[in-house]
Structure formats: structure tokens, C-alpha cells
Structure 1
Amino acid sequence: MALRGTNQEFGRPYNRRIVLESIRLHGPVARGDISSRVGLTVQTVSTIVRELEEQGYILSVREEPKGRGLPPTTLRINPEGGYAVGIHITPLGINAALINLSGDVIESMHREAPNATPDHAFELIGAMVRELTGLRPGGRVLGIGMALPGPFGVESMSFVGPTTMAGWKDVALRERLTASTGLPAFFETDMAAAAMGERLYGLGAQHSEYYYLYFGVGLGGVMVHEGSVLRGAWGNAGEIGHIPAVPNGELCPCGNRGCLERYLSLEALGRWGGNEADWVREISPIFHNAVAVIENLFDPETIILGGLASNDLLERLAGSTVSLPNSVSARRDRVTPRVIVASGGQHAVLRGAAALAVSGVLSPRFGQMFAAERERGRDLARSGGMAA
């Protein structure tokens, strides 16, 4: 999405976010280049840059002269200018990380909490956040993002069965998360958060059109188009795990039979109980058909395998795709394999969740927050969110 400034009412906070987002995406970058990118005058950009420097969000750096004259000052995000917390809840437990504005993981932790109830989970999250933010006393903690298995708002699938958070139906996620941490809160499906983390900090940065196949307790995936995750009408696009893949196959908690994740997921691997290499050989035909379906539906540059599975397992799966069914992706002019393994690792979900919080407070893309700020009469970007 093109970042463009505005002269409309309430444009000042919006323009501040536009400039900050441009620096985050393109830094190190000169003021003149920012002006050209966002459609604001150099004078307006300079005024905003001065404010952002004073607030500690950005740094200005001048390179050593290589000839006559001084090189222009370039701007970049100050990694320690703020932090966000990423949370990932799964049926196995809770992961959390403190992440700076450059996406570096300052510290991460895990708590065993199989099938945690909401009360237990939010109690653990509150304690984990206090411990993590205590590592940067006085630091500006912008917010918290939480990722958990979807889909949301679907009677037959949401919070039902062993691959999702059973018993979490009708929980006020954002309100409970803010109440337990004191931070502005956001939430997302784990597969969308992982795809966002991979786009920002992994191989996804090298591609504008790719499909992220999330291999977790269940199975999901999202198409990333021009750097943005495609969400669908109700935000649930990507529940590939519930595509019926085997006629008259195993009964799925969603009510259908033969759903893909009954055969291809960590839960399915756990039920197999045998050798991992043998399991990959067993399910390879189903996996390969799923790859062809994804390719024919979305025509991606590549499919990136990621999620909670170990890198060894993901490499085994990718290695099994030497011979795949024909699809629109079976092109002679390919420069990237049809299936590759994510480079963001298992922190991709946490980084994506934290990025959701940073964007929610600082980015112009979250119009709902702007409306709320107009009602409250304040600007979270200026006030620096909430300190832990």
C-alpha cells in the first residue's frame, strides 16, 4: 500500500505515522526521499523528523565525506526507541518475547500450559510481561500483540478441537489482554502473524507474492500479496487445514471428514507416533496435492513453509517436493523453488505479533485507532504508548 500524507483535519498525527513508517520501511533514507515517497513538503517532513528525533523514535546519521561537500543526513529507526511484546498461545503452552523497533528479540520465554483456560492463560501472560518489560526499566513499551489459532467467529470451527484453543469461545481477547498487562492490545491468527514476521524479518522480504504455509498444531496458511496478508471478508482466509482432502477420511472436529490437518499437522504427527521420516513419506502424496491446489489458486512466487514444526521436519517436507504435480507454478523460468523453508524461525509468530502492536500504535494503516484517538483527544504516537 502506498504511504501518502494528508492535509485533512487531524492530519498531523497521521502524517507523523506516515513519515515514521516510511523510515522504518526504507531507512536509512534522506528527508528529500521521504518527501517524494509520501507526498509531503520537505519542510513538513523536516518538522516531523525533528519531533520524532526528540521523542527518540529515529536516529539521524551522516556518513563520512568521500569528496567535496557534506553527504546528506540519513534517517533510520532507533532500535531502542520503543519495544513491544509478542505473545503466542497454543494448545501446548504460551510463548512471549520482548522485541525492539528493529525486530530484534531482546528476550523470549515459554510456559508449559497445555489447554490453558483463559483465566490461567491471562494470569501467566501478565506475569511474563512484567518479567520481560522489567529487562528494560523505563523503556517505552508501545503495546502487546497476541497470536492464537483461528478461525474466529465460526461456530463449527472456532475454539473447537485439539488444534485450537478449546474453551475460549466468546472471550473478550483484547479487553482481557489489556486488563492483564496494562498495554494497548491487538490480536491476530497465528498463521497471519507468522506470515507478517516472515515478511518483515525473513525470506518473505525478498518476495512480494508468496504463500506462507503455517505448520503448527493444526495447519493454516495465508497469501501475502504486495507485502500485505490477504484476510478475507471476515479475516479468516487461510484455513487450508479444513479443506476436505481425503474422501470419507478421518472425522474432523469441524464436522467434516478427511480435512487436510487431520493428516498434515503436528497433531497428526503426534497421533502417528512413529518415525518422522516414515511419516513424511506416508503423507507426501497428500502434501504434494495441497501444494498444487495452493499454486493453482494463488499463483505465488513460492510457498514458504514455517510455523511451530522443527526446522528438520520442515526441511524433510520441502525435500519431498523434488517431484510435484503440475500446476501453474511448474514454469521453466522459475528462479525460486516451488517450496522453501522459512528463515524467520519459530520467533516469526512472536515478531509478527509484536509488529502488530507497533503498527497498531504507530502506523497509519489502523484507522480504527485514529477514530478512537479523536474521541480520547490524544495521540499515542506522541505520548509514546504506555510504559510498563
Structure 2
Amino acid sequence: MTLRGTNQESGRPFNRRIVLESIRLHGPTTRGEIADRVGLTVQTVSTIVRELEDHGLVLSVRAKPKGRGIPPSALTINPEGGLSVGIHLTPIGIEAALINLRGDVVESRQHPALNATPDEAFALIGEMVRDLKASPLKGRLLGAGMALPGPFDVASMSFVGPTTMTGWKNVDIRQRLADSTGLPAFIENDMAAAALGEQLYGLGQRFSDYYYLFFSVGLGGAMMHEGVVMRGAWGNAGEIGHIAAVPDGEPCHCGNRGCLERYLSLDAFKRCGLSEADWVTRIAPIFRNAVRTIENLFDPETIVLGGLAPQSLIEQLATLADGLNNSISARNDRTAPRVMVASDCQRSALRGAAALAVFGVLSPRFGQMFETSEKGTA
């Protein structure tokens, strides 16, 4: 993953995130190593590190001597420096968890909730978060992040049909989340959150350009480029579930026919009534076409397959890559399979949602953590 800071004055919150990520990925590490890695001056890195240390997010440890002189202190992430609440809302249920700065799920709660209304969902979320706050494992809470199905702000597709949160139009989701949790609140579509979670805590540490294919109640995805989600003009890039897969095929709730997620999603699997193995055999051509389309559009190092589907189903789908035909990804110099199973399929979105809160509080726009250090600083 490529981590590069910015020397622009407005980039200070971004630089905090980059420095924190460099420490998490490469710690124990020194200030000089961080500066070389992210393209900032040692002075800038030292100032940011001092802020992060003051707030308990990183720890300074003395390295073992390797020769004469006192070795420089090394920096490592403080996993107990703060916890965030990750929440994953789907048409079939809600999961909430306390997640530390290392990405470990400290404690979690799950609640089935079929097509929950906003009032029902936020009542449950409030109850689950109060329960997590009462946990003896609870430390300092930084914020709450929530992942939920997209796309967002598309009149004919957002919150329409069984693969989305039907009936959630015109809901101030961020404010409702803040009210129900009592924490700084952040939201993201679940496919981008899953890609972020995988990038931070899973296979993303090995790849800088990969596509996360999010197999959930619906189907979506996100392209990670140099460690950053490719957003698109309105933040919905990667919504492949509504690519036309079958001419004049099944009607979709978006108003078109033959959309990919009508055939390739948990909703499609449950409607067909087949066993996992039989269903995978049936949809193999459609899955392979989808993979080739993604490869030709985005040229990823690999496609990471994850989501809410059972692990056994995800793994069976991944085996279909053995029968893939030609695309621009069919290279002789490949070092990774064309399709890989995510490191934490069912919880990538949950962990990515929690990371939203961690990154959010590094910015003075969303909290008071760094307010004092921002005043009068360049």
C-alpha cells in the first residue's frame, strides 16, 4: 500500500491519518523511517507523532542496542489507545462491535432485524451500543461508524428493493446514528467500508490496487487504488450489481432488466432454492463474466471476494476462477490468483466502519481531540 502525505497546509488531518497508518503497518518504526516512507519532513512527522502520543494513540519504545550509542526510540500503535464502534446494517440484521486500533474485535453484538425501519433500527443500535458501553472491556470510545447498503443519493436505486434498506429515503442517517450512540458518527456504503476494512487489516496490506467484490444480500464492490477507495463523481463507483448481465432478463427493482445482482447475490441464492453446490454450478458463467468485466475495467492486481455470504459459499465461488477465460488480467507474470477470498469475509465491513470513526476523529471537523493543537499551527 502506498502512503504519501501532503505538505499543503490544509492536509494536516490527512497527514495524521497517514502517519498513524504507517506506524500501524510498519511499527515498531522510527520517525526518520516514517518521513522517508510517507514523503514528509522529519520535523512534520515529529510534530504529528507528539500529538498522537499525547492522545495515547501511539507508544514510543526503546529499540535494542545494535552497536555503540543509544538507539532511536521506535513507535508502535497503542491498540488500547482507543476503541471505536463499528456497525453493519443490512436488510437482514444488525451487528455492532467494539474494535481497537489494531482492528481486533474486542466484543460484539448481533440482532436479526428483517427490513428494519429507521426507528426500529436505531432503537436496536442504541440498545446494542449501550450494552457495549457497559462492557468491562470498554476503553476510551472515539466514535461510531456505520456501513449500510448503497448506492446513496440515486432516486431510482437508493433504498429501493430487497437488497437495500427499503423505506430509508430522506433519513438523516448520520444524525440519527449520533443521537442513538452518543458518539461522533460516520457512515459509508458497505462495499466501500468492506474494502477499507480489508485494506487496513487484511489482504490490502499486500496489494495497492485490488477490487473488493462484496457479496451480500445484494452485490457491489469497490476498487482500491494505492490504498484509497476510488469514489466516482457521487461516491458510488463500483456498483456492479446493476450492470446488465442477461439481456431481457429478470426485472430488477431499479427499473431495468437482467441486472447482475438478480442472479449473483444472497437474495438470488435464497430465491432459487438450490443447494450451495448446485447454485454455484448454475451461476458459474455469470460469475466468470462478472470477474472478467471487473478485470477489464479496473486492471486490479487481484479481486478479493468477501461479504455476508457463508464462508463455504464464498470459497466455492472463488474456485470458479479456475475456469476463467482471457482478460487483461491473464498475465504470465502474475504473483497472485485472479480471485482471492477476503481475510475476514463477514466482518470486513464492520471493521471498515469502525475505521471511519478512528480516521474521522483525527480531523477537527468531527471532534475535539486535536482542537488545541490545531490552533495557531501550520
Matches within 5 A, 1:1-388: 2-5=4-7, 8=9, 19-37=19-37, 42-43=42-43, 45-135=45-135, 139-362=139-362, 370=364, 372=365, 379-381=368-370
Distance change (3 Å), C-alpha of 1:93 and 1:317: same
Kept in 1, the 8 Å contact 2:83–2:138? The answer is no
Task: Write the letter of the residue equivalent to 1:295.
Answer: E
Kept in 1, the 8 Å contact 2:305–2:342? The answer is yes
Task: Write the letter of the residue equivalent to 1:381.
Answer: F
Equivalents in 1 of 2:161, 2:86: separation in Å?
Answer: 25
Equivalents in 2 of 1:274, 1:52: separation in Å?
Answer: 52
Kept in 2, the 8 Å contact 1:221–1:239? The answer is yes
Distance change (3 Å), C-alpha of 1:43 and 1:126: same
- Could you tell me the TM-score, scaled by structure 2's length? 0.92
Distance change (3 Å), C-alpha of 1:50 and 1:291: closer
**Structure 1 residue 44 displacement after superposition:** 5.3
Task: Write the letter of the residue equivalent to 1:3.
Answer: G
Task: Write the letter of the residue equivalent to 1:131.
Answer: D
Give the equivalent residue in structure 1 for 2:376.
none
**Structure 1 residue 379 displacement after superposition:** 3.8
> 1:168-217 CA distances to partner (integer Å, 9 max, x unpaired)?
01100111100111111110110110011111111121111111100000
* SS class of match (1:268): helix
Kept in 1, the 8 Å contact 2:5–2:14? The answer is no
Task: Give percent identity, aligned residues only.
Answer: 67
Task: Write the letter of the residue equivalent to 2:104.
Answer: D
Equivalents in 2 of 1:62, 1:278: separation in Å?
Answer: 57
**Structure 1 residue 337 displacement after superposition:** 1.2
**Structure 1 residue 286 displacement after superposition:** 0.8
Kept in 2, the 8 Å contact 1:29–1:74? The answer is yes
Equivalents in 2 of 1:240, 1:11: separation in Å?
Answer: 32
Distance change (3 Å), C-alpha of 1:273 and 1:96: same
Task: Write the letter of the residue equivalent to 1:268.
Answer: A
* SS class of match (1:204): helix
- Could you tell me the TM-score, scaled by structure 1's length? 0.89
Count matched residues.
371
**Structure 1 residue 16 displacement after superposition:** 5.3
**Structure 1 residue 46 displacement after superposition:** 3.9
Distance change (3 Å), C-alpha of 1:166 and 1:32: same
Distance change (3 Å), C-alpha of 1:66 and 1:2: closer
Equivalents in 2 of 1:300, 1:11: separation in Å?
Answer: 28
Equivalents in 2 of 1:18, 1:198: separation in Å?
Answer: 17
Kept in 1, the 8 Å contact 2:35–2:41? The answer is yes
**Structure 1 residue 138 displacement after superposition:** 7.1
Unpaired stretches in structure 1, ≥5 consecutive residues: 363-368
Distance change (3 Å), C-alpha of 1:141 and 1:383: farther
Kept in 2, the 8 Å contact 1:5–1:38? The answer is no
My pick for the range that moved more, 65-74 or 96-105, is 65-74
**Structure 1 residue 137 displacement after superposition:** 7.1
Distance change (3 Å), C-alpha of 1:337 and 1:119: same
Equivalents in 2 of 1:203, 1:251: separation in Å?
Answer: 36
Equivalents in 2 of 1:179, 1:383: separation in Å?
Answer: 25
Distance change (3 Å), C-alpha of 1:291 and 1:42: closer
Distance change (3 Å), C-alpha of 1:298 and 1:41: closer
Equivalents in 2 of 1:118, 1:282: separation in Å?
Answer: 36
